[in-house]
């Protein structure tokens, strides 16, 4: 319990120590292989459908349906995972996803109408395996109460961002250099193989938390108010991703240099990765709730000036700053799940946050696309500004929901816990006259009644 209390003030362990955690590499490596396709799916659909229909608008519709389907199904997948276990859910899901992606690719190559492709996109998105939340749930179960947990959250953020950088590049190269359907074929193959390997690593899976035979009611993650506040925060982060994708592409076309889009988005993603790496190395002296709010204030401020950038250098610099502030908010939010939601609903909680990002991204792509078509890229950047401002206002208004109640434990004077507590009480007794009252309240009486020791979280 001591390590949980001193997490924020102790030296932060590094990534090397994290990866030396027994059994960690056994789920980290296959988990990465199963997550890489997540960054390939949207761009692969866009390029294939645009190739077969000749319309970016039609391709965008099919991609948006995929994203919304994934956002809506992710929490349900999390509920089933918490109840029945990761392998029990993952095995049928990856098989379904491979079949759904293959069907969508075949329909596109056969020249099916857009409405048929949109229908096929529903199972494609709904069956996206939630490997990222499953990996986070394994870290949370393995490192609960350990100072390594924030480092694990930072590591996962860097892994996610690396996926979003490498995935689209790989998919684009396959679709343009091999075959228009090569991106989707590779995505389905990696999902299937990586998912099966990840599911096979059963030793590190969190135990299922099914309702007991005594009639215990299932607790859903969404019933915890702190998680609902985080969902609003992550909607804003998703809107930043979606708004940046559309507006950076439009800006690059406006300046007559379409190839600049990859460079500008790469700088934005690099800021996120740099901040994520730093977050795992810093020993923070402030609590996670304050870190989340401060990070979100910085993110909102940076996103609020994107619309005013009219040069590639300035926009690249602002994109870098936006990326630097996304990681602190994202990582801290994921870390807080361990404090706000019990283990039995933790995978579901992570999928709510992942789905929230996807839903915010889908909404932002639609709104920014319409604004950009009508008025130019500067108006597209208004979407991240408005979304982050709204999310920040929600965070500030409901910040009290993010402070979990401090648990307490009983220390019995007749057991070893009392012996361990006795030396710790000695310095307090000699600290001065003001220490006498707390010492008297916390003293174990001779009858063995014990005392409560509060455990501070934030």
C-alpha triplet 390, 393, 394: angle, nearest 5°: 90
pLDDT, tens digit, for every residue of 281-328?
666 677 778 888 888 999 999 999 988 888 888 888 888 999 888 888
Residue pair 125/67 in contact (Cβ under 8 Å)? The answer is yes
pLDDT of residue 421: 40
Query: Hey, is 79 helix, strand or coil?
Result: helix
pLDDT of residue 5: 38
Q: State how far the Cα of 87 lies from the Cα of 203, in Å rounded to an integer.
A: 11
Query: Hey, is 448 helix, strand or coil?
Result: coil
Kindly state the DSSP code that residue 366 receives in the 8-state scheme.
Answer: H
Q: DSSP string covering 403-414, please? A: SPPPPEEEE-TT
pLDDT, tens digit, for every residue of 325-348?
888 888 888 878 877 877 677 777
pLDDT of residue 284: 67
Residue pair 298/332 in contact (Cβ under 8 Å)? The answer is no
C-alpha triplet 340, 346, 350: angle, nearest 5°: 95
Residue pair 240/388 in contact (Cβ under 8 Å)? The answer is yes
Q: How many CB atoms lie within 10 A of CB 389?
A: 16
Q: Across the strands, what pairs with 451?
A: 411
Residue pair 206/347 in contact (Cβ under 8 Å)? The answer is yes
Residue pair 289/336 in contact (Cβ under 8 Å)? The answer is yes
Q: Across the strands, what pairs with 453?
A: 409
Count of alpha carbons within 13 Å of 221, Cβ hemisphere only? Answer: 33
pLDDT, tens digit, for every residue of 131-179?
888 888 888 778 877 778 778 877 877 787 677 667 777 877 788 788 9
Kindly state the DSSP code that residue 209 receives in the 8-state scheme.
Answer: -
Q: State how far the Cα of 120 lies from the Cα of 100, in Å rounded to an integer.
A: 7
Q: Across the strands, what pairs with 253?
A: none
In the numeric block, the tokens 């490997």 are attached to 131
Average of pLDDT values for 415-436?
A: 41
pLDDT of residue 453: 36
Kindly state the DSSP code that residue 304 receives in the 8-state scheme.
Answer: T
Among residues 197, 161, 174, the alpha carbon closest in space to that of 34 is found at 197
Global pTM reads 0.69
Residue pair 411/453 in contact (Cβ under 8 Å)? The answer is yes
Confidence band, pLDDT 50/70/90 cuts, at residue 211: low
């Amino acid at each position: 319990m001591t390590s949980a209390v001193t997490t924020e003030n102790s030296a932060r362990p590094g990534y090397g120590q994290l990866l030396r955690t027994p059994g960690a590499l056994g789920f980290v490596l296959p988990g990465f292989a199963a997550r890489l396709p997540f960054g390939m799916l949207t761009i692969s659909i866009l390029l294939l459908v645009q190739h077969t229909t000749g319309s970016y608008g039609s391709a965008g519709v099919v991609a948006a349906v995929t994203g919304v389907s994934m956002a809506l199904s992710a929490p349900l997948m999390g509920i089933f995972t918490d109840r029945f276990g990761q392998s029990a859910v993952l095995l049928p899901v990856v098989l379904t996803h491979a079949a759904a992606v293959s069907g969508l690719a075949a329909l596109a190559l056969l020249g099916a109408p857009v409405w048929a492709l949109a229908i096929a996109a529903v199972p494609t998105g709904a069956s996206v395996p939630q490997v990222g939340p499953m990996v986070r749930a394994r870290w949370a179960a393995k490192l609960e109460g350990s100072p390594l947990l924030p480092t694990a959250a930072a590591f996962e953020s860097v892994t996610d961002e690396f996926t979003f950088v490498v995935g689209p590049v790989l998919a684009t190269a396959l679709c343009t250099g091999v075959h228009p359907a090569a991106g989707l074929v590779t995505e389905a193959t990696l999902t299937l193989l990586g998912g099966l390997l990840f599911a096979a690593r059963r030793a590190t899976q969190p135990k299922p938390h099914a309702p007991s035979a005594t009639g215990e009611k299932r607790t859903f993650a969404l019933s915890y108010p702190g998680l609902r506040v985080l969902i609003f925060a992550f909607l804003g982060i998703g809107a930043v991703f979606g708004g940046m994708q559309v507006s950076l592409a439009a800006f690059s076309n406006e300046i007559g240099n379409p190839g600049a889009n990859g460079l500008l988005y790469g700088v934005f993603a690099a800021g996120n990765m740099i901040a994520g790496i730093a977050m795992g190395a810093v020993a923070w002296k402030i609590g996670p709730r304050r870190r989340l709010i401060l990070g979100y204030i910085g993110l909102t401020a940076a996103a609020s000036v994107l619309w005013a950038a009219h040069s590639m250098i300035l926009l690249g610099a602002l994109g870098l700053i936006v990326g630097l502030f996304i990681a602190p908010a994202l990582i801290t939010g994921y870390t807080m799940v361990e404090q706000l939601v019990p283990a039995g609903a933790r995978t579901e909680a992570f999928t709510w946050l992942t789905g929230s990002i996807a839903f915010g991204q889908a909404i932002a792509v639609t709104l920014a696309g319409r604004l950009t078509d009508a008025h130019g890229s500067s108006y597209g950047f208004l979407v991240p500004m408005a979304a982050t401002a709204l999310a920040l206002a929600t965070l500030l208004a409901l910040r009290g929901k993010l402070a979990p109640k401090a648990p307490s434990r009983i220390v019995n004077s007749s057991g070893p816990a009392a012996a361990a507590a006795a030396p710790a009480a000695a310095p307090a007794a000699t600290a001065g006259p003001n220490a006498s009252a707390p010492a008297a309240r916390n003293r174990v009486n001779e009858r063995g009644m014990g005392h409560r020791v509060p455990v501070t979280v934030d």
